[in-house]
Amino acid sequence: MLAVDPLVLGVPLKYVSLLVLTVQNSMLVLVMRYSRVTSDTPFYASTAVLMSELTKFTICLFITAKTSATEHKRLSVRHICNDILGGDSWKILIPAGLYTIQNNLQYTAVTLLDAATFQVTYQLKILTTALCAVMMLGTRLSTQQWLSLVALTLGVILVQIPADRSNTAGSMLSATDPSQLLGLMSVFVACVLSGLAGVYFEKVLKGSRKSIWVRNAQLALFSIVPALFGVLIVDGPDIRQNGFFYGYTAWTWGAIACQAMGGLIVSVVVKYADNILKGFATSISIIVSCVASVWIFGFHISPLFLAGAALVIYATYIYGRSEHKRKSAAEVLPVTSDNSEQHGQPVVAIGRQSQDDEGIPMVSIHGDAKYTELKLQ
């Protein structure tokens, strides 16, 4: 029989996860921005990043422990520790450090930029991730993907151009105050770090047999150390004077929850959905963020911003569609059936590569009323 996608209340899990991802992407920027501008006593961003990683680690540890108990018929602390701390877990130290810096820069950027500009500009992470994949993994991009990256860059540039350029003397930067420049620099550096960390993490996953939840637990655990280092070094004196949770509100906890859930939701999307739907979710979240920014923060959408945002949305969708086609073509494999022969001829089926719950590549074979799966060792 054919494999069936898991259902949630009768709806395929991939669509549920994409809906949640769209809401999370939209809410993360809006809640982070709102939590930074509505309080007279702003919280320390380094503490929020640390709390986010602690939350993420707790969730991943629970799922890992539940999975381990199912596999070994009992809950074993030794097995859990071996899964998380054993083997090549040290490889996660690099992306953990990069992601921690990136998360801190997100708070800096969303404090200095309006939510809509941040959301659109942050899509540059698609460009940085693609360039890192080409340089580090030898990934070959299609012409359509390169063109979509150019369109993405042009769209982001259009978003940065002020609506009123009468006092700019032809210069975009002269109308931009230092705080906005710092915000844009924070976004750009965060995008570069996101690309480096994402590609490195993908490289580790490709050579791993550990589940994505174990890897997420490792990532969160090893992110706690640099996050704690940031708390002590960046805000240490102020925290000792005012307290760790100084300036915290319900919106602060909302931002922490959104940031913690983001990586976990993406893991589910990567497993059960594809890049087309993921790109579609990203595009919808950009629209939602822009519209909500007008209503909540009084943001003015200029024609240039609208054109740039539309270009970014289009480029995001086209890049995801091209990536889906490239992977689909690479994953279709000719596989010989286990049946030795039928009428003197070998039985050949078409296989599509995927991964099991342990991250081990598999080939789903469909042919001659048969369905089976092979683990590719």
pLDDT, tens only, 185-239 = 999 999 999 889 888 887 877 767 777 788 889 999 999 999 999 999 999 999 9
Give the pLDDT confidence score for residue 337 in this predicted structure.
41
CB-based contact 311:327 (threshold 8 Å): no
User: 93: which residues sit within 8 A by CB, 6+ positions away?
Assistant: 222
- Residue 264's identity, in one-letter code, is L
CA dihedral 152, 155, 160, 166 (to 10 degrees): 150
pLDDT digits (tens, 9 = 90+) for 42-84: 899 999 999 999 999 999 999 889 888 888 788 888 888 888 8
User: 217: which residues sit within 8 A by CB, 6+ positions away?
Assistant: 57, 60, 61, 64, 84
Give the pLDDT confidence score for residue 331 in this predicted structure.
52
List C-alpha distances in Å: 302 to 246, 290, 299, 305: 37, 11, 10, 5
- Residues 37-65 as b/e (b if ≥16 CB within 10 A, e otherwise) read eeeeebbbbbbbbbbbbbbbbebbbebbb
pLDDT bucket at 330, cuts 50 / 70 / 90? low
The mean of the pLDDT values for the chain is 78
Q: Which residue has the tokens 């369905």?
A: 371
Question: Distance between CA 52 and CA 312 in Å, rounded?
Answer: 29
Give the pLDDT confidence score for residue 170 in this predicted structure.
40
Give the pLDDT confidence score for residue 91 in this predicted structure.
85
What's this model's pTM, rounded to 2 decimal places?
0.76
pLDDT digits (tens, 9 = 90+) for 287-318: 888 888 888 888 888 888 888 888 988 888 78
Range with top average pLDDT, 5-9, 56-60, 86-90, 177-181: 56-60
CB-based contact 34:249 (threshold 8 Å): no
Q: Comparing 276 with 31, which gets the higher pLDDT? A: 31
Q: Comparing 184 with 350, which gets the higher pLDDT? A: 184
pLDDT digits (tens, 9 = 90+) for 74-111: 888 888 888 888 878 888 899 999 999 999 999 999 99
